[in-house]
Structure 1
Amino acid sequence: MSYYIIKLIITTLLIVLISEISKRSSFIGAILASAPLVSVLAMMWLYIDTRDALKITALSNSIFWLVLASLPLFLVLPLLLKAGVNFYLSMAMSISLTVLCYWLMVTVLDHFGVKL
């Protein structure tokens, strides 16, 4: 049980740290947020839990393909905000587009025999 609490604390602290740093410097916050810290943590926790390198390989490959599908969020959100669209509506529209892109990516990859 304490292992799960440690995982939660470390992962939560990382997210809070990035948001606090972003208040002071959006550039440094962006560097930290764009670094695959969450993915690295997930791979570390998975490896510690399973000691299975094949699971890490599968996770890493899936992350690669799905990161591509998440990129439109970072293009559309600032465009909507600059156009004066309400933050929450902009976020909802950007997330909806990202969900659609995930679905398209999974569908296209499945068509070409790539299993995530």
Structure 2
Amino acid sequence: MIALAAKALLSGLLIALIAEIGRKLPAVGALVASLPLVSVLGMILLWRERPDVENMAVHAEATFWYVLPSLPMFLVIPRMLRAGMPFWMALGAGCALTVALYLAMIQIGPRLGLRL
């Protein structure tokens, strides 16, 4: 239970740090947010708990394929905001698009031989 709390605290600290950097320097905050810090941290923690080469390889490859459906959100939200859409509506639409693309990836990926 302590390990879970430590993981949650570290993750929360990363998010808070990114928000603080983004408040002062939006482009730098975006750069830090785009770094695969959570993915790398997740792989380190997963490896410590289950040092299995094949499991890690599947995890890393699936992470790559799951990043792709999330990318359009970062183009759609700015366009909606600049078109005058309220922030929460643009964010909701971007998230809905991402969920729809994840569901499509889950359906299409295995047909293309992807291990998701």
Give the TM interval when normalised to the shorter protein: over 0.9
Unaligned runs of 5+ in 1: none
The Cα of 1:103 is off from its aligned counterpart by 1.4
Any residues of structure 2 matched to 1:1-116 within 5 Å, and which? 1-116=1-116
TM-score, normalised to structure 2's length?
Answer: 0.94
Q: Percent identity?
A: 38
The Cα of 1:56 is off from its aligned counterpart by 1.5
What letter matches 1:97 in structure 2? L
Instruction: Tell which deviates more after alignment, 105-114 or 54-63.
Output: 105-114
The Cα of 1:108 is off from its aligned counterpart by 1.7
SS at match of 2:109: helix
What letter matches 1:104 in structure 2? A
User: C-alpha distance in 2, partners of 1:18/1:109?
Assistant: 31
| Number of matched pairs | 116
List per-residue Cα deviations over 1:25-68 (Å, max 9, x = no partner): 01110111000001011111111111222222111111101111
The Cα of 1:2 is off from its aligned counterpart by 2.3
TM-score, normalised to structure 1's length?
Answer: 0.94
List per-residue Cα deviations over 1:64-101 (Å, max 9, x = no partner): 01111101100100000000001111111111111111
SS at match of 1:114: coil
User: C-alpha distance in 1, partners of 2:61/2:17?
Assistant: 27
Unaligned runs of 5+ in 2: none
RMSD: 1.1
SS at match of 1:85: coil
SS at match of 2:104: helix
User: C-alpha distance in 2, partners of 1:26/1:106?
Assistant: 33
The Cα of 1:9 is off from its aligned counterpart by 1.4
